[in-house]
Every structure is written in structure tokens, then in C-alpha cells.
Structure 1
Amino acid sequence: MSEDAGRVPAEPPDLRVGHEERAAAMRALDTHFEAGRLDVTEYGERSGVAGTATHRHELEELFTDLPAPHPEFSPAAGPPAVPEKAPDRHPLGHRHTAMALLPLLAVIGIVLLVVVGGQPAGLAFFPIVFLLAGRFGPRRF
């Protein structure tokens, strides 16, 4: 059996980092600054690099001349989990669409009543149409 069989391959140096890794580097730099290993200028420069780092090697380079503590990086995770599709809020979508058409049908009926039937009293039904539109119209959740 070869020596390499039990070894885990090293992670690529260009592995991207996130907020947690940058925060861990900042905490380690704070410890070194408090211990007097970094002066104000050098602490500011390294903190700036840590705050804007996008790759792991950028953070690792900040600690090459410093003793422990160094930031501990979590092992590279697999791809993020894909969330399941949310269930349809309106399983009977066609029924919801039909209810949204009800106010339109009421307006057409009132217009026909007033224009064709010569009944001006039909205008009194317009407030009812607006109430129906509010009740059965589209929802904003």
C-alpha cells in the first residue's frame, strides 16, 4: 500500500472564503495586536487585507510570520443544499383566477343595465363592485 493512500488531498489555495473565515482572521489579528506582536500600522494593514480577502491564501499569508493563534478554517464543504420547491399556495389556481374575474363581470353587467336597459339606478351597484374587487381580487402576500 502506498504512503499517499491515507492522506487527504490539500485544499486548493485559491479556495474562496466567506464572512466567517474573514472574522476568524480578524479575531486572530486582534489577539496578536493585544500581545504586542503587531504595531498599529501593521495591524491596520493586515486587518484591511483580512476584511477584503476573497481567497484562503490571502488570509494564510497574514500569519506566516506570527505564532499561534492562527484562524481555523472549516474544511471545504460540498455544494450548498438546494432548498425544496415551496408548495403551491393555490393548488386550485384556476378557481382563484375565476374569482378574480367576478368584479369584471359585475362591471359589465352594470354597464349593460345602465346603457341598454336605461336603468340609471344601476349606478348604485358600483360600490358593490369595488367591495367585490377588494375581496376577490389579487392578493399581495
Structure 2
Amino acid sequence: MGDPSLPDIRIGDADRVDAERLLNEHLTAGRLTPEEYGDRATQAAAARTQGDLLRLFLDLPGPHPNFEAPRQLDTYTAYTPPPISHEPQIAHPPVKRGPSTWVIAAITVPIIVLGVVVTILGTFGSGSFVIGLVVVGLVLLLMFGGG
């Protein structure tokens, strides 16, 4: 049927799910391309024997499927395998979102306009010039000063 050195012992759903999990580990380690992962995951879902699964790992380093003695299931509960997905499960970092650009513009533009007006009025001889510089300085600090 196949390679005589690979066992023809039947496998269960838990073995198929475990093999798919291990293939996903090889995908995330960069040993498999997404296309290779998809092909092998499809073959793992259709595998019937231990040999069928082990063939998928012949060119890969460990981890490989580990077939243990069958467990006795509780007579009151039946094992329901998780749904099988053939999509690669690559973890992506969460997207960090800040305030909307419109919110920032709605707050900073009036403050900048106020600072410019106060600065212009302050150049005509009153102490408002210093207040204008402080307002503009605070606006620039809020815009570019980390946080």
C-alpha cells in the first residue's frame, strides 16, 4: 500500500487535529509555505493511518505526531473534536488605534488660531505677547510631546 516501514494502524480525529496543529507550528517557524501547509493540512484531514500522517513530516524536523495507546473514553461523555480549519493560524500583533485625525484637528486648530491671534495682538505692545508664546508652546508640546 505504501512505505512498509510506516505503520498501517488506524488513527482518530484527535490524531488528525494534533497533526494539523504540528503542521501549523512548522508554518509559523517558516519551514512550510502557506501553500505547502494547505496541502499537508488537507492530507492530514483525510489521513486514515499513522503512516499517512507520518509521511507529511518526513522532510521536517520535530515535533512529529506522537501516537499513544488509545484512551478509554468515559461512557457518559463522547469526545467531540474541534472544527478543523485549513487556514494558517498566524498570530498578528494587535492594531494600536489612537484618536481620529478629525478629533485631533478639531481640538488643535482652534487652539493654534487662538495662539496666533493672541501673538499678533501681543506684538502691539501689551503683555499678551508672552501669553501667546505660552499658548503656542503648549499646543506644540501637546502635539509633538510624546504621550
TM-score category, normalised to shorter length = 0.3 to 0.5
The structure that is helix-richer by fraction is 1
**Structure whose CA Rg is larger:** 1
Using the size of structure 1 for normalisation, the TM-score is 0.45
Using the size of structure 2 for normalisation, the TM-score is 0.43
